[in-house]
Chains A and B, each alone.
Chain A
Amino acid sequence: MAMVLGFGAAGHAEERTIERPGPVDPIALDDANYVTNRESVIPPQCYTRFFEKFNPCYTCHQTYDDRTRPNQMRDGHLQAAYNFSDAGLTNHWSNLFLDRREKIAAIDDDVIRDWIDSENYTRLRPRLEAEGWKGWLPDLENLHLAAGAFDDQGFAKDGSGWVAFNYKPLPSTFWPTNGSTDDVMLRLPEPFRQTADGTPSRDVYLANLAAVEMAIKDLPEITTPAIDENAVGQDLDGDGALGSAATMQRPSHYLGGAADVELATMLYPEGVQFLHSVRYVGVGEDGEIGVPPRMKELRYMKKIRSLNPAQLRSIYGNEHQNKIDELLPHFVDAGDRGLDGGMGWLVQGFIEDRDGALRPQTYEETTFCMGCHGTIGSTIDQTFAFPRKVTGADGWGYVDLKGMVDAPNRGETKGEILTYLQRAGGGNEFRENQEIQDLWFGPDGEVDAAKVEGADVYTLTTPSPERALALNKAYKLIVDEQSYLFGRDAVLAPFTNVFDVIDDAKAPTLPEHYRAAWDIRLDW
């Protein structure tokens, strides 16, 4: 790459230099207290051109009439305008614009297959321990085995308390056709996994998992794998007797050892942890797309403080005030524990080093996480996947897109993916996925609704083996460069539907008619 990085006289849009060196050393930059992008919370997707009608923005930016929602970000107006600070007007994600076609073509299929099929998870813990890491240590055995690490109900086989669930990936970066597969696990704190006297109990844990799902989705009742009510000591299904419960009414409090913790609508209890592995796109011998052993990233977050809606209103109020004041975002670096975005969560990520081994992300690399897990309006208590879990008993178990119906979002009738393709006008936020375009759009550029309606989520969102391998190669080049600071998207050819600089004076807005209300929850 014939590029030279000049950091100019620090940061103004007009002083931007888009050239950069091939290799970058993010660790050295971090050690030098240096950030390349003060607005790394604005992801590349936010620079997409509307062309006056395309709206991929609605899955993040929402304003809800319901003011009891704890998420008070209320940023639906951002669907319509590039409302950035001066620093944000420059698209820092220059990896979107690099032409890597030749380099991608030069990588042999077998080489990339070997790469994605070799695991990099088990080495992370010893590496962190050797480095004296004080934060969370990977404690889910054999996660690289994907579904193999969990039993049929999603419980980790190692007894660590991690539970995998099946969810519909958020449109559209997390569709495998756009470059990555993933899985998400949660773990409730120990008292939630025990009876009142402290005895570990799977029945209690199942009941509390059902309860937290009802809290997050604001449901009155839910189905659950069979729970022995005698073990929980409570009539969960409301049938007036203690027996085996397959449904559960929403309780006022959690159960067993967590009986003193109240359910809070659309909020998790303090101490809940999430684990999210983002992986390459696995390609089986038969061309099947799946979750391979190699992780691109391992993302961890923990809720460290329970904040009620009245407390959150004050925090969101300060966020709005900072926006009015045009202040740049800043986050508290809690060291190995992660970044504190001010919403009660700590977030820490691990990403591949040049050799493909997972390493802790640098400060700036982690600030990239905070845009989505911080100050957008559509999330429920800062999370995406769990509110999108297949509801109830059927949704406990490792993620599996096969046979998953394209359920509509709550309050809608058409499938979510169908709706997304129509609103976004393409197969990803950038409208840069030609395969989706060819498969699901007609020659007139309109979505073939009848065809989409007949397909499951796997069929709709997974790439062909050829595309999958090419995406993996494209991402591997970013790993080789360690250039995550300039974008993590698997780009097969330079993007053209994306602004590299927003001209504040001339930036277009999306007409009111194309703005969309949307609920992250699904109507299964």
Chain B
Amino acid sequence: MQKARFQTLSAVLLATTTLTTGAALAAEPTAGLTRFATVPLDAEFTGLYITAAGDLFFNAQHPADSNKKPADKGSVGSLVGVDMNNLPKSFDPVKVPESDDEKQSFMTALGSYGIIAQEGDGVKNGALGAIAAADGSVIVQSNDPDFNGFIPSVDDGSEGYLFTNWEDRPGGMSRMHLAKADDGSWQVGPDGAEMLDFIDVSGTWVNCFGSVSPWNTPLSSEELYFDETADWNNEGYEEHDGVVALSQYLGAYPNPYDYGYIVEIEDPTGVAKPKKHFAMGRYSHENSVVMPDRKTVYLSDDGTDVVFFKFVADAEDDLSAGTLYAAKVSQDEGNESATTGFSIEWIELAHGDEATIAGWIDAYDGITPGDYKEGETSYISDADVEAWAKGEAEDDRVAFLESRKAAAAKGATAEFRKMEGVMINAKGAADGSVPFMYMAMSEVAKGMSDQEGDIQLTENMCGVVYRMPLEADYNVTRMEPVVAGGAYDESAEVNQCATDAIANPDNLQVLSDGRVLIGEDTGAHENNMLWVWDPAAES
């Protein structure tokens, strides 16, 4: 196909005749992949969350201003009229939007999308997505709703609290009291909506995807995206703006080691108190997912040259103390990204607990740009990381505060590219009916395709979804590609990734029957898509 397209275009260029063909590259469609929904232009699918009762929440993050109303604003909503616990075995896919109207709409294969609330809507203490400083002034009005987690307040799940991340700098989270109407749509209930106050944890940074723990607390994720802590107090650093916004929020210069963690919302239906879990490490958290043993946690790290982490808590239902591990992968024979898997071994980084790590963090309070010196760092240095890896450090702070560098120094694989959602079906994992964990890799590129190190795959700019069989004690030692995007056509104006396959997978949910929901965050599909993949089609 590639060749045919090349020839066609050459003909256009050379002959300047009008072209009548021009269909996007067709890939071999992945078996079992069905297009389930699309979001309006320029929006990404975020906040995929399936409740115990089978409701599906999802958001349209940052849609285009030029979309018709109401699709021009960041939206939190649900799929109305569909029970995800009883999703039909097969259904007709939703079409690829063609008309302007379709492109600017929410399209679903089944049911319909119901907007619950939008960026800027009034809430009890301001506006949805508005992150305010102590003096009440709004620092950021976000159009980036992300993770949704629903905590029911009644047994049948028809009422409860929806927690939604607002992915910004500083970050935020809203809580909306919701009740399900007779028509299946969700409406804001009498307890209303509010933006949670994170000042007790010094605010948050880029609250991204997340999950709900087995003990029913939302686990938000700080996507740190600040790879070199040395630049934190470097005012000349080009991406310094978020730190300044955070200073404005705090009224003081922030300590970098206060950010980059999993944030648990304790007492979610009561006071909703945030707590940062330092022992699970500091990096660019996409999300964490707790296994049914209520102790083992897998954590993904978004960015370039990133690491896959695992945490085992000392005690059930308590993520404040435990042991942090990082994955060392060995690539199978071959290099084709769509078919080549890895074996995983887990390298222990360190054991830590909240009080100890908090003490280490406090040692960096009060550092400001005045302390910055070019070529040096006011924080943990690379030499400190090396010393720790050699066993020459006084303590294990490196493992928890510079976890990605610590993992690399210990020989873990720091080559993943844009590692996104990692997810299980909690019930299916517990009873063995869905014994898999899935992970989205938005792209197989950069460190994964550079023909160096542990991972040397062919580039796939449209991404891959991996599957990991759950073993004894919820360990995983294998990671295999099951859904790959493409074909990729870099020269296409729109839809650089073929529209009959995934592009840049991000949020994942696993259904109780083993099927997988794959949400996109991509510029390579004109309308971002939500897919259902059926593993039964593999055989």
Contacts and interface: CB of A to CB of B under 8 A. Distances in A.
Given A7-B9, A36-B491, A342-B64, A314 B22 contact: no
Interface stretch (A21-29, A41-49, A246-254, A465-473): A21-29
A337 B64 CA distance: 13
A314 B141 contact: yes
Contacts of A327: 523
Contacts of A316: 241
A466 B87 CA distance: 74
B492 A33 contact: yes
Contacts of A410: none
A509 to B, nearest CB: 13
Interface residues of A, number: 60
A59 to B, nearest CB: 19
Which of B8, B14, B66 has the most chain A CB within a 10 Å cutoff?
Answer: B66
A24 B168 contact: no
B26 interface: no
Interface string A287-319: 000000000000000001101101101111110
A328 interface: yes
B65 A35 contact: no
Contact of B493 (A4, A21, A33): A33
Contact of B18 (A7, A31, A340): A31
A328 B496 CA distance: 12
A67 interface: yes
A38 B303 CA distance: 22
Given A28-B18, A31-B19, A320 B100 contact: no
A455 interface: no
Given A23-B16, A317-B168, A311 B490 contact: no
B9 A326 contact: no
Interface string A321-333: 1011111101011
Contacts of A363: 493
A130 interface: no
A505 interface: no
Contact of A314 (B41, B72, B144, B418): B144
B493 to A, nearest CB: 5
A9 B418 CA distance: 25
A314 to B, nearest CB: 5
A413 B259 CA distance: 45
B141 A32 contact: no
Contacts of A304: 65-66
B66 A340 contact: yes
Contact of B65 (A4, A305, A324): A305
A344 B141 contact: no
A10 B239 contact: no
B130 A310 contact: yes
Given A25-B16, A33-B495, A325-B418, A317 B242 contact: yes
Interface residues of B, number: 57
B66 A346 contact: yes
Nearest to A12: B490
Contact of A33 (B24, B41, B141, B168): B24
Contact of A21 (B13, B143, B242, B491): B13
A301 to B, nearest CB: 12
B141 to A, nearest CB: 4
B72 A5 contact: no
A307 to B, nearest CB: 8
B134 interface: no
A457 to B, nearest CB: 34
Contact of B490 (A23, A32, A38, A346): A38
A524 interface: no
Nearest to A307: B65
Given A28-B12, A32-B9, A67-B244, A326 B491 contact: no
B9 to A, nearest CB: 6
A136 interface: no
B71 to A, nearest CB: 12
Interface string B235-260: 01011011011001000000000000
B9 A31 contact: no
Interface string A1-22: 0001111011100000000110
B139 A33 contact: no
A11 B461 CA distance: 13
A338 B454 CA distance: 46
B493 A332 contact: no
B287 interface: no
Given A21-B14, A320-B241, A34 B9 contact: yes
A276 interface: no
A77 B495 contact: no
Contacts of B141: 308, 310-311, 313-314
Contacts of A34: 9, 12, 22, 491-493
Contacts of A32: 8-9, 12, 19, 21-22
A335 interface: yes
A30 B493 contact: yes
A334 interface: yes
Contacts of A31: 18-19, 22
Contact of B42 (A4, A328, A335, A340): A340
A55 interface: no
Contact of A315 (B13, B17, B143): B143
B491 to A, nearest CB: 5
B315 interface: no
B174 interface: no
Nearest to B65: A305
Given A10-B490, A321-B225, A313 B245 contact: yes
Interface string B135-147: 0001111111000
A33 B489 CA distance: 10
A75 to B, nearest CB: 8
B304 interface: yes
A182 interface: no
A310 B12 contact: no
B241 A72 contact: yes
A328 B523 contact: yes
A313 B14 contact: no
Contact of A332 (B2, B9, B19, B42): B42
Interface in B475-528: 489-495, 523, 526
A246 to B, nearest CB: 37
A74 interface: yes
A364 interface: yes
A29 B21 CA distance: 11
Contacts of B100: 334-335
A310 B144 CA distance: 13
A336 to B, nearest CB: 9
A333 B97 CA distance: 13
A369 B144 CA distance: 26
A280 B198 CA distance: 58
Which of A28, A38, A67, A305 has the most chain B CB within a 10 Å cutoff?
Answer: A28
Which of A23, A75, A340 has the most chain B CB within a 10 Å cutoff?
Answer: A340
A337 B494 CA distance: 17
A516 to B, nearest CB: 16
Nearest to B23: A33
Contact of B64 (A67, A318, A332): A332
16 contacts: A7-B491, A21-B14, A24-B16, A25-B13, A28-B18, A29-B13, A33-B494, A308-B141, A310-B140, A320-B242, A325-B304, A328-B523, A340-B42, A342-B62, A344-B65, A363-B493
Interface of B: 2, 6, 8-10, 12-14, 16-19, 21-22, 24, 41-42, 62, 64-66, 72, 100, 129-130, 138-144, 168-169, 206, 225, 236, 238-239, 241-242, 244-245, 248, 303-304, 418, 446, 489-495, 523, 526
Given A21-B14, A337-B66, 15 more contacts: A7-B10, A20-B13, A27-B18, A32-B19, A32-B22, A33-B494, A34-B9, A34-B22, A304-B66, A310-B138, A311-B141, A314-B141, A320-B241, A333-B493, A340-B64
Please give me the 10 A-B residue pairs with the lowest Cβ-Cβ distance, nearest first: A32-B22, A330-B523, A340-B66, A310-B141, A25-B16, A305-B65, A332-B64, A334-B66, A10-B490, A311-B141
